[in-house]
Amino acid sequence: MTRDELEQALADLPFRLLRRLGRAIAGPPALRMGKRRLMHTIMAGAEANIERIEAAIRTHQAEQQALAAVPAPAGGASSEHKSGKPADQRALLEGIGVPEPRPFVPDDWQVEAVEALERGDVIVSVPTGSGKTYVAVEATRRAMHEDRTVVYTSPLKALSNTKYTEFCKIFGPEFVGIITGDRRDNPTAPILIMTTEILRNLLYDAAGGEIDVRLDTLGLVIIDESQFLGDPERGVVWEETIIFCPSQARLLLLSASIGNPQELAAWLTSIRPAPCHLVRHQHRSVPLRAGYLHPNGKLTPLFRTVTMPPSPSQAVLHPEAKRLFTMFEEDTLYARRSG
Amino acid sequence: MPPSIHPVHLVTVLRQKSLTPAIVFLTSRRSCDEALQAFEHATDPLSPARQESITAVLDELTATYPSLQDHPLRKMVTACGVAAHHAGHLPSWKIAIEELMRRGCLDAVFATTTLAAGVDFPARTVVLTQSGVRRDQDFTDLTIAEVAQISGRAGRRGKDSVGFAIVTPSPYMDLGVLIRGLTGRPEPVDSQFIIAYPMVLNLLKAHPLDHIQSILAKSFAQYQMNAQAAHLEHRIEKLHAKLESYQPRECSDWLTQWSAYGHATRQTAMKLQARRHHPPEVRARLPYLTPGRVVAFPRFRGIVLRRYRSRGQRHEMMTVLRKGGVVAESPVADIMGVIDRTFDFAPASAFPWATPEALSWLTQQLEDLPKHLSFLTVPPAPDEEEGEVVKSLGDLFPCPTCPCRPTCAKEFKAANTVKQEWLHHTRTVQSLRTGLWHKFQERAEILQDLGYLNPAFKLTADGEWARLIRIDFSLLITELIRAQAFKDVAPPTLAGLMACIAYENDRPGSFPRITAALASLVAATRRMADALAPYDDPPLLRADVGGLAERWVSETTVTWAQLCRSTSMAEGDIYRLLSRTLEYLSQVHSLQATHPDLATVAAEALSRIRRGVLEELP
């Protein structure tokens, strides 16, 4: 092996092997070297250690051959995201469009949530836009049948208004009322939409002896966007509402996906008369795909697979997206440096 | 920003790939507005059919919300099919944009990341352009929950078979944050329970003090703290077992004993070190080195003129008169011996420490001394200090003679670490278990001092009405009412003050001038807030924003457009300021029973605020 050949072979070695070689030749300081300095060090000590270097190169070549001989695993569930051919760029946009109209059939979890409400409180923690409203409407309908008052709370006045319009359409305006900081429409209706703060104040008044008639017949409290419990400023209001909620009323907590729904459920079980049922899933009703759009207008999949990777550790960028993003970063870095 | 994709180009690409309708999330209101402005020069307007459908929807909504009629952005939205949606807009405009999106009339909406939760409309595609969000002056990464909230808007049920989250790069974007956000598990929700004054008053109204602890125990905060405490208790048990595993010693609490002993030894060692500069034979001579004493150096003799120790110097020094009248400084340790001869001389208070006559006389005497002189036999200095220390330590501690001493010395370090950890955890557990209750008691005692609660922790007359004020800064407002600050206040001034208290944003801007009455009321409020600072965080209390509310209430002929022209504040912010003022005023209005005059003023202010845009919206 000539010196040039040796250098070429070294450049092909993976960094970890180079580092091992460098350590054998130059000792621990080699662990702090970059690739170029490592190669330089190894080449400087090449005469004395030629056997060791050649052995490392042979091992590496053998490994490469072994890898090439074994066919790539045929898309196992977990390895799919890491190996295999990257997704075709056209596959990202495949199947785009309007789905066939289908008669509405409630999902299993929606039915489960409504039924569980007969037995106790329910927490629903599902991705945004997967149909929490259906559960709320269905539960309201059942409570109406039993002549019980329903309170629906949301964090924002704007959301309350949207829900008010929606519920008016479903149940008829005479059955729905709204109370916000400065609006009172039909406040004796069996279905009341309000912000969470207002419900908290009503509960305070009830506890203070000024009994509010509606609270006697209160059968169901729906708290939308319950992940606001963790809001630094307003979270305390959600907590108070849940603590002071009358025990005869059922609680239905609707929340986006959160990290610890079991903990919330366990808490509710510990303070409420009936055990709390948790309904959760990560499944989106409309599947999501991630794309990368380069400023030049080129669109590629963001991840190696068209479907979303199940966890950050399995998220591998699509080679094309990675190349374009690296290019973008280099361009902007240069632009920033040159002012 | 030039390196990232141009908004017009972005929308063109999205249209080509049939990825519309899309929501493009940008960092700031300004970037949303700028993106929209870029379409002013766009060449391809929408087809007439689509323009008509947008106009139809807008006309339909104008019936409910008259302010849409002359909205400046109306033409633009109709022509290009794109819109901006952020907190600077009026709610009616936002409702219109949301409705247009729901009906699929728009191709793209530029929205701020900050309000991702408030954006309650779906689209086929969401476009992520940034990985950060501005929070209280800071720029922080988006949380996983926020990215999930954003990507959750992609894909309309029944209208799309697939939803898309498109990442497009911009400078300073961290792709890792977005990847984690798109694929990761959302953060856990943690309790943010705080004990506020209205909570204390309302709880004590309904329950006696003895029941409060059990009510607080029902909070999620306590539940989470209990879980944490249980975890720590498990650890404490383990640590305890580890401590038990050390062999029993002579004394019951060997760790304390040994650490006290170690401390005492170190202390005395330091003391000894400070004193012990001289070998014993030198120290023994010290009492004899008085002025006038003759001393012997290795090669000459001298007479001590004075002995001293200058500051910072560890060695005893002396000034010596040598042969020929030389006066020199030399360390005490240099002398060979003390000679049994002294001279009395007249000292002086400065160098050379003797009068000139005495000095020449002494020089003469030194010359005249006989050649052979005997050294003084100096009795050895007693080694008393060291002996004393050992004796006293031995008195105080059994350790020096204890048979366990070597084991203690060996095991102390490891065992002490365990014990310190154990102590730390024990204290933490205690504060976790009782922290909320202590906080409640603290707040209740403050309210007691201020006169809202009687000594039995029942509500006083003041407490009865004060509990109805359930907003931020409730303590400040109730104290102002009690201090008669609102006596003879006019409705505009009251509204102005409430706006000042309610507004918590420090975005600068220009505003209408405030009146002298409001200025003095704000000054009084600031004094009160400063006085209450130990009990409650004071509000930002910006005087300038009060001018808007004041003008809106005092001049009932002012239209919304005129009000907007008088300030640099965005429409949406003015709306929010006034609706917060409404909220605060309606709290004051609830005090009809006890403060009829004030409630009437508040009612007047309320009815005057509710006009124009503020009336059309719920």
B396-431 per-position pLDDT tens digit: 777 878 888 888 888 889 999 999 999 999 999 999
Q: Could you tell me if B74 lies within 8 Å of chain A, comparing CB atoms?
A: no
Range with lowest mean pLDDT among A168-182, B338-352, B506-520: B338-352
pLDDT at A102: 82
Which B residues 173-192 touch A at CB under 8 Å? 175, 179-180, 182-192
Residues 158-177 of A with CB under 8 A from B: 158-159, 161-162, 164
- Strand pairing report for B327-331 and B317-321: antiparallel
Give the gap in angstroms from C-alpha B525 to the nearest C-alpha of chain A.
23
Q: What residue type is assigned to position B16 of the chain?
A: Q
Express each pLDDT in A13-48 by its tens digit. 888 788 888 888 888 888 788 888 888 888 888 888
Beta bridge partners of A184: A179
Q: Which two tokens stand for residue A102?
A: 């289908």
Instruction: Reply yes or no on whether the pLDDT at B314 is more than 70.
Output: no
Size of interface A-B (CB pairs under 8 A): 248
As assigned by CATH, the class of the B7-183 domain is alpha beta
The pair of structure tokens assigned to B257 is: 């004993």
Q: What is the pLDDT of residues A127-155, one digit of tens each?
A: 887 888 899 999 999 999 998 999 999 98
E strand segments, chain A = 122-125, 149-154, 176-180, 183-185, 191-195, 218-223, 250-255, 277-280, 288-293, 299-301
**pLDDT reported for residue B380:** 73
List CB contacts (< 8 A) between A239 and chain B: 191-193, 219-221
Residues B142 and A297: their CA atoms lie apart, in Å, by 25
Decide if B9 and A288 are in contact by the 8 Å CB cutoff: no
Looking at residues B225-237, what average pLDDT do you find?
A: 95
Determine the CATH number of domain B280-368.
2.30.30
A105 touches chain B (CB under 8 A): no
Alpha-carbon separation of residue B49 from B55, B82, B98, B426 (angstroms): 10, 16, 20, 73
Q: Which residues of B touch A260 (CB under 8 A)?
A: 188-189
> Distance between CA atoms of A231 and B279, rounded to whole angstroms?
71
Say how far apart CA B119 and CA B99 lie, in whole Å: 12
| CA-derived radius of gyration, chain A | 31
pLDDT of A77:
43
Amino acid occupying residue A222: I
* CATH 2.40.110.10 correct for B468-616: no
Structure tokens at B245: 């595993």
pLDDT at A337 exceeding the cut of 60: no
Provide the pLDDT for residue B2. Answer: 47
State residue B1's pLDDT score.
41
Residue A81 has pLDDT above 60, yes or no: no
CA dihedral B520, B525, B526, B528 (to 10 degrees): 130
Spell out the SS3 assignment of B367-382. HHCCCCCCECCCCCCC
Give B 222-261 residues with CB within 8 A of chain A.
223-224, 227
Domain residue extents for chain B: 7-183, 280-368, 468-616
For A285, name the nearest residue in chain B, comparing CA atoms only. B157
Q: Which of residues 177-236 of A touch B (CB under 8 A)?
A: 178, 180-183, 185, 197, 200-201, 204, 207-209, 225, 227, 229-233, 235-236
Instruction: Render pLDDT for A184-209 as a digit per residue (tens, 0 to 9).
Output: 888 889 999 999 999 999 899 888 77
Q: Higher confidence at residue B251 or residue A111? A: A111
Helix (H) or strand (E) holding B92: helix B91-102
pLDDT in tens, B384-393: 555 455 556 6
Tell me whether residues A293 and B10 touch, CB distance under 8 A.
yes
Among A200-204, B44-48, B201-205, B449-453, whose mean pLDDT is lowest? B44-48
- Return the biggest CA–CA distance within chain A: 97
Residue A70 confidence class, pLDDT cut points 50, 70, 90: low
Residue pLDDT, tens place only, A222-232: 999 999 999 88
Give the CA distances from residue B89 to residues B106, B254, B575, in Å, rounded to whole numbers and listed in that order: 17, 71, 9
Note which residues in 6-65 of chain A have CB less than 8 A from chain B. none
Residue B277 pLDDT greater than 80, yes or no: no
User: Nearest CB to A99: which of B158, B175, B206?
Assistant: B158
- Position B288 scores a pLDDT of 84
pLDDT at residue number B616: 74
Nearest by Cα to B25 from B95, B139, B118? B118
Reduced to 3 states, what is the DSSP secondary structure of residue B153?
coil
Which of residues A249 and B270 earns the better pLDDT score? A249
Mean pLDDT value across chain A: 85
How far is it, in rounded angstroms, from Cα B388 to Cα A326?
Answer: 76
Please give the mean pLDDT across all residues of chain B: 87
Can you give the pLDDT at residue A156?
83
* Nearest residue of A to residue B93, measured between CA atoms: A158
- CA B114 vs CA A225, A304, B25, B586: distances in Å: 16, 30, 9, 28
